[in-house]
């Protein structure tokens, strides 16, 4: 089990607990993407936000995060106004 928490500075904080990092990364991408899509930003700004902030954090969770969690360690990554962290749930 893993717990993933995230924050969009001054906008949104949430968390998810589930069985594995792959599912957590998908949930993170979907939930943060929905918040960004509903933010009222112009479409090109939403796309920029997704490619420059969301995508690098989700990719890091899938790679470095999964490796850290497999070792029983925590992981965190920030990109611009977005921070995510994960830890094993025992």
Q: pLDDT truncated to tens, each residue of the chain (90 aa)? A: 999 999 998 778 999 999 999 999 999 999 999 999 998 999 999 999 999 999 999 999 999 999 999 999 999 999 999 999 999 998
Q: Which residue has the tokens 């094993």?
A: 88
Give the model's pLDDT for residue 33: 94
Q: Which domain holds residue 27?
A: 2-88
Return the number of other C-beta atoms located less than 10 Å from residue 57's C-beta: 23
pTM: 0.92
How many structural domains are present in the chain? 1
């Amino acid at each position: 089990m893993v717990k993933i928490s995230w924050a969009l500075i001054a906008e949104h904080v949430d968390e998810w607990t589930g069985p594995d990092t792959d599912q957590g990364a998908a949930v993170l991408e979907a939930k943060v993407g929905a918040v960004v899509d509903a933010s009222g930003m112009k479409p090109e700004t939403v796309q920029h936000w997704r490619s420059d902030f969301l995508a690098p954090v989700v990719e890091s969770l899938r790679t470095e995060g999964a490796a850290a969690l497999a070792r029983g360690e925590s992981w965190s990554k920030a990109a611009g106004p977005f921070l995510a962290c994960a830890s094993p749930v025992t």
